Amino acid sequence: MKQAEITIPYAVADYAILRERGYYYVDKTKYISLLERYSAPVFLRPRRFGKSLFMSTLAYYYDVNAAERFERLFGDTYIGQNPTGEQNQYMVLRFDFSKLVLADNLQGLEKNFNDLLCPILKEYIDSPHRYARYFEGFAFSDERNATKMLSEIVNRVGGRDLPALYILIDEYDNFTNQLLTSFNDTLYEKVTTGDSFLRTFFKVIKGGIGEGAIRTCFCTGVLPVTMDDLTSGYNIAEVLTLEPEFVSMLGFDHEEASEYLRYVMQKYDKKDSSFEEIWNLILTNYDGYRFLPDAKPLFNSTILTYFFKKFAVNHGSIPDELVDENLRTDIGWLRRLTVTLENAQEMLDALVVDDELIYSQSDLRSKFSKRKFFEKQFYPVSLYYLGMTTLADAYTMRLPNLTMRSIYMDYYNNLYGVVDDARRYARAYQRFTQDRRFEPLVENYFEQYLKLFPAQVFDKINENFIRCSFYELMSRYLSQCYTFALELNLPSGRADLVLTGIPGTDFHNDCRVVEVKYFKAGEAAMVEALEAPRAEDAVQVEGYARDINAQFPNYRMRSYVMYIAAGKACKVWEVGK
């Protein structure tokens, strides 16, 4: 097979293609042996977290038809050097429920379910490239009913000395989640209760596992809701999402990510970039997912691979857009969860203003039906599974990264009617790219953005809100010039806001550090009267600048103190010139 020119596997979800075309591979095969302890495992992660590639890996490992390719595909991996003994022993049936087309009623949805699965099942027993040799003389009684077809395959396997089935169901809850976000609760309940086609399908799998005709059925998805609502139809499922030994099965930890970056820079960087500088940029923008309170932080593998692919294609230049737009979570989930304006405002205040959401670990591990999913006390857990919050510790959740901060700020703005009107902002940012004066950006933010909010908002907001909202506004117009960091950890403390010029641009080595202070409306006169920042604030931000300069001596540091008093007063000074 022809080798790939750019060996960064963005959007490559076929394990054989990835390996045989020489793409970079982060070896996750050690988890295969751990999964063999289970017959009906379920693993949940936010969308596009690498689930499909892992499913493909399992398919090639267990497929009886892939035995001749085992050494080529797995020889240099952990599992290739430590095989389990079950490699290439099964007939693998793989389904992707994200391809299921929605319908307005149960009959239409069942028809679409059969239209998707029936051709796959027929090909598996008819095609000489699949398993036709095990099904000579066999015929389905009804080729338009996927559940009957699967049942007849299970009976055939169980009644003869044939390799058992290994079933993989990717995005098991994709279509049921779409029903929830579209407020079609009635149809959702019909699909997950009684003798619906979905419950009957999983009952066949449950029976096949019990009889030994099915070795394993491994499901991936995003939410536990559908699996819990199936109840007795598939009560053998074991959700492994919160098991410590599986927490890093998907996503990249710091060690994996830094090794990946060194590979990319060595092979594609023509600009002799600093590893520490690029690594710092990656940590600032992409790090942050923690799925257990004491677990190591993880990168979303798709986001990071997107960055690496763009970096490689651009021969070491930082991509203009740091975030893959396909990963922006549907704001419909937030609207669907909160239902009422009051609930939405309360949740957004907790995350955007207070920067935390209280949760209970018992809720995280409890049964999680649709009814619970939309209960107010379970919002944090719902958002956790969707990848819209992550665990800060054993008691609180936070936003995982700058991308999610932007999404929440956008929703907050919409709730209060603060629309993104470029006419308010574009000229100010255009002038900044010419004269590099930061103070007018603060004044533009205050006059054209912050003053649009109603008076009652200013009683709730704080410095965290100012940081987040100012960052979100700047990122719309300066993302091709700077990367941003909020509350950057430094030896002398946490810097509120840091702008760092992107390597390869005219802004490289330009670094701005901002200390943000927020005051209530009653202190506006005091702020207006100030002719200089308070000495302790100036000293603090200058210390942050020295910390950054010690790590990156080539940076041209500029430091600012920014005071906001509700919607009534704004002052900004450059210090340490």
Instruction: Write down the residue that tokens 């992660």 correspond to.
Output: 45
List, for residues 521-565, the tens digit of each pLDDT value.
Answer: 999 999 999 999 999 999 999 999 999 999 999 999 999 999 999
Q: Is 141 exposed, middle or buried (0-12, 13-18, 19+ CB in 10 A)?
A: exposed
pLDDT (average), residues 323-339:
64
pLDDT (average), residues 507-532:
95
CA–CA dist 21, 6 (Å, integer): 10
Give 326's pLDDT tier (boundaries 50, 70, 90): low
Give 406's pLDDT tier (boundaries 50, 70, 90): confident
Predicted local distance difference test score (pLDDT) of residue 353 = 86
CA–CA dist 188, 186 (Å, integer): 5
Q: Is the pLDDT of residue 256 over 90?
A: yes
Q: Is the pLDDT of residue 319 over 90?
A: no
pLDDT (average), residues 288-315:
90
List, for residues 88-98, the tens digit of each pLDDT value.
Answer: 999 999 999 99
Lowest average pLDDT, out of 10-14, 36-40, 122-126, 364-368, goes to 364-368
List, for residues 193-233, the tens digit of each pLDDT value.
Answer: 889 999 999 999 999 999 999 999 999 999 888 888 887 67
Predicted local distance difference test score (pLDDT) of residue 28 = 97
The 3-class SS string of 420-488 reads: CCHHHHHHHHHHHHHHCCCHHHHHHHHHHHHHHCCHHHHHCCCHHHHHHHHHHHHHHHHCCCEEEEEEE
Give 15's pLDDT tier (boundaries 50, 70, 90): very high
CA–CA dist 380, 378 (Å, integer): 6
Predicted local distance difference test score (pLDDT) of residue 375 = 79
Give 331's pLDDT tier (boundaries 50, 70, 90): low
Q: Which has the closest alpha carbon to 40: 222, 217, 297?
A: 217
Predicted local distance difference test score (pLDDT) of residue 330 = 57
The mean of the pLDDT values for the chain is 91
Predicted local distance difference test score (pLDDT) of residue 401 = 82
The percent of residues above 70 in pLDDT, for the chain, comes to: 97
- 245, 34 Cβ separation under 8 angstroms: yes
26: Cβ contacts below 8 Å, ≥ 6 apart: 252, 256, 260, 301
Phi then psi dihedrals of residue 139, to 5 deg: -145, 145
Give 147's pLDDT tier (boundaries 50, 70, 90): very high
Q: Is 94 exposed, middle or buried (0-12, 13-18, 19+ CB in 10 A)?
A: middle
Give 318's pLDDT tier (boundaries 50, 70, 90): confident
**285 vs 553, more confident:** 553
Q: Is the pLDDT of residue 355 over 70?
A: yes
Give 383's pLDDT tier (boundaries 50, 70, 90): confident
Tokens of 221: 């998805």
CA–CA dist 485, 182 (Å, integer): 35
Q: Is 380 exposed, middle or buried (0-12, 13-18, 19+ CB in 10 A)?
A: buried
Predicted local distance difference test score (pLDDT) of residue 323 = 64
Predicted local distance difference test score (pLDDT) of residue 516 = 97
pLDDT (average), residues 454-468:
91
Predicted local distance difference test score (pLDDT) of residue 161 = 85
Q: Is the pLDDT of residue 249 over 90?
A: yes
Predicted local distance difference test score (pLDDT) of residue 568 = 95
Q: Is the pLDDT of residue 425 over 70?
A: yes
Predicted local distance difference test score (pLDDT) of residue 496 = 96
Q: CA 476 → CA 286, 371, 403, distances in Å? A: 17, 38, 12
Predicted local distance difference test score (pLDDT) of residue 419 = 82
Lowest average pLDDT, out of 106-115, 144-153, 448-457, goes to 448-457
**DSSP state, residue 521:** G
Predicted local distance difference test score (pLDDT) of residue 407 = 80
Q: Is the pLDDT of residue 350 over 90?
A: no
Q: Is the pLDDT of residue 1 over 70?
A: no
Tell me the pairing of strands 510-519 and 493-501.
Answer: antiparallel
Give 327's pLDDT tier (boundaries 50, 70, 90): low
Q: Is the pLDDT of residue 329 over 60?
A: no
Tokens of 68: 């001749």
CA–CA dist 506, 522 (Å, integer): 42
